[in-house]
Structure 1
Amino acid sequence: MSETTFPTTQPLDPHSYASRSAARVRHLTLNLTVDFDQKMLAGTATWQLANPGSSSELVLDTRDLTIETVEALGAAGQPTPAAFTLDAADAVLGQALRIALPAGATAVRIAYRTAPTAAALQWLAPAQTAGTQPFLFTQSQAILARTWLPCQDSPGIRFTYEATVHVPAHLLALMNAENPQQLSPSGEYHFRMAQPIPAYLMALAVGDLAFSPLSGRTGIYAEPATLPVATHEFADLEKMVGAAEELYGPYRWERYDLLVLPPSFPFGGMENPRLTFVTPTILAGDRSLTSLVAHELAHSWSGNLVTNATWDDFWLNEGFTVYFERRIMEHLYGREYADMLQVLGGAALHHTIAEIGATSPDTHLHLHLAGRDPDEGLTEIAYEKGCALLLTLESLVGRPRLDTFIKEYFARFSFQAMDTASFLHYLRAELLDAEPGLEARLNLAAWVHGPGLPSNAPAATSSRFAAVDQVLGQLAGGADAASLLPATANWSSHEWVHFLHGLPATRSAEELADLDAAFGFTNSGNAEILTAWFPHTLRAGYAPADAAVEKFLRHVGRRKFLVPLYRALLATPDGPARARAIYKEARPNYHSVATGTLDALLAAPPARE
């Protein structure tokens, strides 16, 4: 590692009022009561200042919070009322909370409560869970932490925290911190997070939960009915952590546990440090969808340890994480397995580019999202184009050199934020400049600041998918579906998805019936397979799958599945009315992250005059 000095100034975060504040927070003491009847969190947030005396004002981000009182605390902890104002509300950014800091103030204490409609909070009735009790979980990324916590909601601002959370005595509370493994008879839980994190990684979950250890530092939390299945599915979790450490250095967060959430969770996973949230849709029974867990684990280095400074730099989180995820899966299950993931990822990337437009600036790695919801930048571009850049770099310098670079990058910038310009400066100084012409061969500017895919993008291939293509060829040649059973006996979920994506869109309902009779797609418990199968059934009018489609849409809240299925339904002759009817019933089961997308997709057309 060189001794070169690298820029440390942070770019202005266009999605945080707090990024303009000279005063910075460093530690949070949180005291909250969870009220399921009112769908509300209420309590106090006490912020210790990182630089007391640097400013006469502290600016925090809020959205839809009721601020009841604000106090300034002196060095001895003595409170005095502090004047505060809330700016006019912005639909995306919420309101800036401006707190006047008297001389000598070292902290502020804010008494507040959340709105029942807080966008980060998903309140679930018992019927929406796997058990008989209500459930609460948070989703703070990208800028939703401000809807349940007055905070400096920028990925470039870090803090440690401690928390006391009061919940109904029969429920367990968890945070991304040191967690309990058993119920507290009083319903009071205490948490401590010693490693500094940005606000988007703040997390809370409350429900009827049980714990099962997998190793000395890994385990699973889930509703009791789900726990045995989840424990079996994630049996390789400790092996994943070990493989990640072999690649890029020690795990810095002490424990790595998973929380399996109810189906309404809008994402596959969320990489909250120490406690990754995961969707139950990856409980396939054959451990074939656990690459998602490898992805969230990889975030313990890429994202959680070294964090994008703003959401314009999101690719620095996700591109590295996808590359790292597939290296973990290759380490555990072999190159042929990882190749399947790369092909599927490449297909998703090409689909996204076609959807956005190959010349759109939204296909650049470095984005410009000012004035927009940063969720608009959470596309396959950051994930798969970012990974493809690293694969291209690997092809030019070799794995050993790239691995050394990445390992040193994580070590050097641990618990810091990184923006695109600073990363490119570091990349050149540590790797590219040592070899004349390397940056030109990499075509770096086209990757980061250019649209679409550069001409030197790597082409992914898979021998296991080639075998699937042979089966597709036999089927196209007239082979009976049942005759293909021996060739498909050991296929993973990935092979089945590739098979379904390879089916012609012109398959008739009768032909789909033959496939369904042979392979049981409609009754599959695998969400990835169902999401690849249902567009065929909707397009062909295959009625036996209709009830399964509606059941899926009513019970699964993962946005990755909902959007393509609703689009497929909308494209059918009677689909718009049917889609809106299903959505009206299902919408209460979805998180605001999903409904924000689906409300626009399913908006009724304007009435004719």
Structure 2
Amino acid sequence: MFSKISGLVLVGLTLLAGCSDNSVQPTSSNAASEDISPTNQIQVGKDYHSLSNPEQVKVSHIDLDLTVDFEQKVMSGYAELTFDKKDPDATSLIVDTRDLTINSVTANGQKIDFELQKADDFLGAALEIPLPDKGNKVKINYATSPQASGVQWLTPAQTAGKKYPFLFTQAQAIHARSFIPLQDSPQVRVTYKATIRTPKELLAVMSASNDPNTERDGVYEFNMPQPIPSYLIALGVGDLHFKAMGERTGVYAEPSILDAAAAEFEDTESMLIATEKLYGPYRWDRYDLLILPPSFPFGGMENPRLSFITPTVIAGDKSLVSLIAHELAHSWSGNTVTNATWRDLWLNEGFTTYLTYRIMENVYGKDRYNQEAVLGYQSLEADVANLTGKDQILAIDLRGRDPDDVFSDIPYEKGALFLREVEQKIGRDNMDAFLMEYFQHFKFQSITTDEFLAYFKKHVVASYPDKLDMDRINQWIFQPGVPEGAPMPESDAFSIVDNARSNWLSGELHANQIDTKNWTVHQWLYFLNNMPEELSMEQLHDLDRAFNLTESHNNEIAHSWLLIAVKNWYQPAFPRLHDYLVSIGRNKLVKPLYKELSKTVEGKAIAKKAFDEAKAGYHPLTVKANQGFVE
């Protein structure tokens, strides 16, 4: 899902990476082909975050017809579910819901009884529907709640244009159930068609077929012919306009930012072509971007055909476009081959982060690849230092936990580092050949860690017995931390930054004597992220006078500097800090600031003032993630 770059790396969904007290450990080097967990531990392949019953009755297609009501902040209409009966003895279809009003359920034109069970705190409520006597479809007439966890409603004042309202959905990990009654599990893949009815002056777009030349008439029809998991169903509605960036790529955005977005991301087509050469055909027809308002809680979301993107990466110099590479890479790892449960998230994010680095190297060169890899490794080191051992495991156990409540770089950067080690041992050409075959073999399937390991053992380990062994691989996936001897990225571009920082800290140089005219954004981030925890007021003033860091227009650099300012109580930066917190809803950028502010009484007061002002425009996930810091 989501991408990141600050301290730094790209993380595209940045969503899950913790585990409960019952972590899964391998019992032998044959874990890939065996049940690796004791019977009293996790059941491999079981989705503990869905109340549905796909093993008995599995939904295969959804027909949606929804009307968007901005005044009431609800969507209403129906979802007609086509299902396959897997168990001949099954008598009911069970789907996931959260805060939905179920008005009726019909089959073959007749109303049928249904039972909406008691809601779980974070899983929602199971909707049980008796199977009809004939046919394989049921139609659920329903309405969403204004508080739907997967939907954000923005007033005109909260948009770039200030004239029209805006709506967007965010379904990962388990929020699709808040706007569609469905089997909300990544192992249930569906095709879908949708009719979305909106005010005539607005345009609707979805993670499906979008016609850039569609008439703006308030009724929009969509088709997603490839089977996708529920968390990739997405909708955006607003004053959206389109600009092409290439034959298969373009950008949707509000008019005021459309040109800037298209210029910033104009290399998207080149990224797409480069990825196809490395890993096989792009299977989704078009690849477009939707630029959301700043309240979007993530860097990006890899909704197929239409990635949702934060405007915070429009820096004017393409310095943060690795986020686009990350979301594009998900078209292979994540969308085409998907984690079957949230325990297996690293199969999405680790592979995607590895592909991201390879795409960036191919399009922008090895120097940039090296710089971003070093920043990613440092971000991983920081998470390993701050997490308990069980939270450092790739195949994590999330039973009994809300997947929104845990986040780290483990599935992203540790997963990518594992693949980089494999690449170094078997050779890059062999690694690329394996990945192309892997994406082809499992295309449009959702798989578990165990299924991947069985395939990997048969097709890779068996081919390189002198270079790879399952004990080492199991250590990567089922043990905490980073294995000793793992690859350590290096960048020559950072040595001059280290020297400059060292000379400045020792007093040999004033900040204005540091030659930064050729520094990249990544060098600036490396410079700031590796500062000591404590700096003097004189040092902070020196940096700010020389480089005007408080007023930086690059959101990543501003984030790193503002974090330094809070840690050292550099008050000249506090007005910008307030403006930053109330104007950006991207959780990766605001949460560390709220967390640091909450450590002191004075800081908590600053945090509360900003949070109270910004809360109405924050996404529900950002509110939930930061509420505790201001209470």
CA contact (8 A) 1:53 1:105 kept: no
Aligned to 2:123: 93
Aligned to 1:443: 472
TM-score (norm 1): 0.94
- Residue 74 of structure 2 is aligned with which of 20, 28, 40? 40
Query: For 1:390 and 1:160, how far apart are their aligned partners in 2?
Result: 31
Query: For 2:383 and 2:283, how far apart are their aligned partners in 1?
Result: 34
Query: For 2:496 and 2:301, how far apart are their aligned partners in 1?
Result: 34
**1:159-558 mapped onto 2 (5 Å cutoff):** 159-182=190-213, 184-357=215-388, 359=389, 361-436=390-465, 438-440=467-469, 443-478=472-507, 479-484=509-514, 487-558=515-586
Query: For 2:215 and 2:465, how far apart are their aligned partners in 1?
Result: 62
Q: Which moved more, 1:16-25 or 1:318-327?
A: 16-25
- 1:58-98 Cα deviation digits (max 9, x unpaired): 1100010000000113xxxxx12121101110011101110
Change (3 A) 1:24 1:363: same
Structure 1 stretches of 5 or more lacking a match?
A: 74-78, 605-609
CA RMSD of aligned residues (A): 1.9
Query: For 1:332 and 1:380, how far apart are their aligned partners in 2?
Result: 24
Aligned to 1:24, the other structure's residue is in SS state strand
The higher relative CO (CA closer than 8 Å, separation ≥ 6) is in: 2
Aligned to 1:578: 606
TM-score (norm 2): 0.91
Change (3 A) 1:411 1:401: same
Quote how far apart the aligned CAs of 1:334 are. Answer: 1.1
Query: For 1:19 and 1:489, how far apart are their aligned partners in 2?
Result: 60
Change (3 A) 1:401 1:183: closer
- 1:180-199 Cα deviation digits (max 9, x unpaired): 32563431111111111010
Aligned to 2:395, the other structure's residue is in SS state coil
CA contact (8 A) 2:209 2:223 kept: yes
Query: For 2:234 and 2:280, how far apart are their aligned partners in 1?
Result: 25
Structure 2 stretches of 5 or more lacking a match?
A: 1-31, 35-42
Change (3 A) 1:181 1:20: closer
CA contact (8 A) 2:33 2:450 kept: no
- 1:564-602 Cα deviation digits (max 9, x unpaired): 111222234511122122212211121112122112333
CA contact (8 A) 2:297 2:622 kept: yes
Aligned to 1:59: 94
- 1:361-407 Cα deviation digits (max 9, x unpaired): 12110011111112345421100110111011112111111111111
**1:10-25 mapped onto 2 (5 Å cutoff):** 11-19=45-53, 21-25=55-59
Query: For 1:514 and 1:53, how far apart are their aligned partners in 2?
Result: 71
- 1:239-290 Cα deviation digits (max 9, x unpaired): 0001110110010000000011000000000000000001001001100100
Aligned to 2:534, the other structure's residue is in SS state coil
CA contact (8 A) 2:228 2:444 kept: yes
Match of 1:125, as an amino acid? T
- 1:123-176 Cα deviation digits (max 9, x unpaired): 111111111211100000000000000011000111111111000111110001
Quote how far apart the aligned CAs of 1:470 are. Answer: 1.8
Aligned to 1:607: none
- Residue 124 of structure 1 is aligned with which of 131, 154, 157? 154
Quote how far apart the aligned CAs of 1:212 are. Answer: 0.3
- 1:446-503 Cα deviation digits (max 9, x unpaired): 111101111122111111112211221221232121122xx31122221111111122
Aligned to 1:408, the other structure's residue is in SS state helix
Quote how far apart the aligned CAs of 1:505 are. Answer: 2.6
Aligned to 1:92, the other structure's residue is in SS state coil
Query: For 1:400 and 1:183, how far apart are their aligned partners in 2?
Result: 43
Q: Which moved more, 1:158-167 or 1:370-379?
A: 370-379
Query: For 1:377 and 1:583, how far apart are their aligned partners in 2?
Result: 21
Match of 1:330, as an amino acid? E
- 1:303-339 Cα deviation digits (max 9, x unpaired): 0000000000000000000000000000011111111
CA contact (8 A) 1:52 1:105 kept: no
Query: For 1:333 and 1:470, how far apart are their aligned partners in 2?
Result: 25
Q: Which moved more, 1:331-340 or 1:540-549?
A: 540-549
Change (3 A) 1:53 1:397: closer
Aligned to 2:64: 30
Q: Which moved more, 1:385-394 or 1:533-542?
A: 533-542
Aligned to 1:317, the other structure's residue is in SS state helix
CA contact (8 A) 2:457 2:470 kept: no
Q: Which moved more, 1:376-385 or 1:107-116?
A: 376-385
- Residue 149 of structure 1 is aligned with which of 155, 180, 183? 180
Change (3 A) 1:353 1:510: same
Aligned to 2:113: 83
Query: For 1:578 and 1:378, how far apart are their aligned partners in 2?
Result: 25
Quote how far apart the aligned CAs of 1:437 are. Answer: 5.1
Query: For 2:378 and 2:53, how far apart are their aligned partners in 1?
Result: 37
Match of 1:541, as an amino acid? W
Query: For 1:573 and 1:125, how far apart are their aligned partners in 2?
Result: 33
| Match status 1:109 vs 2:139 | yes
Query: For 1:273 and 1:16, how far apart are their aligned partners in 2?
Result: 22
Query: For 2:51 and 2:575, how far apart are their aligned partners in 1?
Result: 47
CA contact (8 A) 1:339 1:462 kept: yes
Query: For 1:172 and 1:436, how far apart are their aligned partners in 2?
Result: 55
Match of 1:32, as an amino acid? L
- Residue 103 of structure 2 is aligned with which of 40, 46, 68? 68
Aligned to 1:76: none
Aligned to 2:463, the other structure's residue is in SS state coil
Query: For 2:315 and 2:528, how far apart are their aligned partners in 1?
Result: 17
Aligned to 1:226, the other structure's residue is in SS state helix
Aligned to 1:46, the other structure's residue is in SS state strand
Aligned to 1:598: 626
Query: For 2:157 and 2:365, how far apart are their aligned partners in 1?
Result: 41
Aligned to 2:549, the other structure's residue is in SS state coil
